[in-house]
Structure 1
């Protein structure tokens, strides 16, 4: 008779397989065999095998700084990494040790996994969890993941399970020729993608990417963020990154000013993500889009009408705020509805800001929506040319090019 944990694990993997998140037998077998609950002691079984993140560590202010990632994100990134038996793998961000255990199951006895974490307590717990799961081909290292682990290099595969603002040089140097790097990069503003990088004659080029957001690297690769309340009730919060320019004092009371709404005539079918439009706005707006997190109480009192249940993407300019919203179209013959994108502006020049954002959305829709997007880390400097959809995201060591082609 199968245990409850085994049944819950089977159900989770069956669902991920049916949704085409788990695509290969290597990832499927690893997820079916690896007992996630052993890496989350004290967490109820149903929560351990739910398709949800589990937060495992907070800082002194109560902010979450480490989590066991959502299983579908774990599976998606493993598929991106395309690990093979016998390979050497470095993971940045040990967390609970669960992802390292999955990697260990794929590389097998002939392979080796090194996983690094800056938190000594998490390192010790990951070691205990791996021992409890009888995983023996993983080395858990206490250190700054941005430096990699030269002692175990070179690696056939490197994966970061923490968000990065720049790809550290150490990761590029410690990868074998022909190796593969998977890293969740925060590109600009609130836009992050898990990108597959491989070398080519001009540097590093993507081989696919997926929408993904992770806890940021800390220490050398720290990507600081702060929270800016927009309402006295503290239920409307801007998440601001180090490449944003937000005048907190000027925005005081901005949502109490007149609301200006502009509809764009840009439509999305149900369940189609807005990720590429968001990326365009991140590249084009002077103050790249940021997350405006909204609690239900703010919607109920009519303070905001955001695009999603969690809130909406937004931008600011001085004392002005603009954020995205949607409205459904009349039902089509099959009963489905499209959703039109709108922009709501507040502040003394809120209408102008909303108009600017709406025009960028229209430009993306008319010229760039049907194009594919390529990400590169070029070995030599590249000139930006926004007129043809090529942007260069400045970084200290390794700028990133984003090209609509």
Structure 2
């Protein structure tokens, strides 16, 4: 049963009526371009086939009632809260994510109550943006209940909704994320990667069909739990902002290699800047290669990205490093951690005939080091968020 169908079924079971509609949004993998989004840089994500679905119906009492149902079928409910009473700090835990979206939409004229039932198959804690998929699906559900359909005339644009979701996470949940994940979940399309200039908002959908070229994109969920709420992410973002101030630029997007070479910066800030400068260059080079149909040639860029994230940005971990090392040792064309780091997932570009061999090598290496068994799956760029029924 599909995730949207499960959401509709669980809604009927819990509320003894059919939902008005079901909306869903995907998790994402960032092919390359890590920690560049909040530095006004370039990113290159694609949507995963895994989704979070929200089945919804209006309530007459102005309250937001949220229930999530896991694979075990056990519902987790939170006490319904008046939409008009939502303020930062009023809701904590996982329920803060959908509640924050309702809070932002209230400020944009959408304030009715709703029953929401949430199901999904995006692996939580894997750095694959399950929280943003939840927020984006919630935004579409609440807008849909208000009669505002995505892409309809006069409706807010997908980038506008992404900015609302970002605000809900920054100000309501209290996590200072950039705009990559929300935009990816809402704006990616099937069989393409999304080339996004975060500063200007310019987007280009670039075809990516790895199987047609005898290749696979292999995701390795290391099972080392990832969380954007950890202080390491905040520290690096603050460090980037401080470096930009010292360099006299609006954001590190404005720093080139020559300016970096001339700059006098503390070593810990120089490392951060070096990663951002070189990562933006890698994204642009990757885009050039993809436009030219040279997918195999992006492999070394992926690996260089991981090295930079591990050595300069220092957001990798033992499990991510092992996943990359083992994949490369078994013949992957390139590999890197993906997402914010400190755990989560890696991605490898692999010859289709070698997928099983690479997967076995990673799994064996994890066993030798006493790590939890990784979850591995080939993936393809998939559709972005929308209404399912």
**Normalised TM-score (structure 1):** 0.26
Higher relative contact order (CA 8 A, sep 6+): 2
**Normalised TM-score (structure 2):** 0.27
Relative to its length, the structure with more helix (as a share) is 2
Relative to its length, the structure with more strand (as a share) is 1
Instruction: Give the greater-gyration-radius structure (CA).
Output: 1
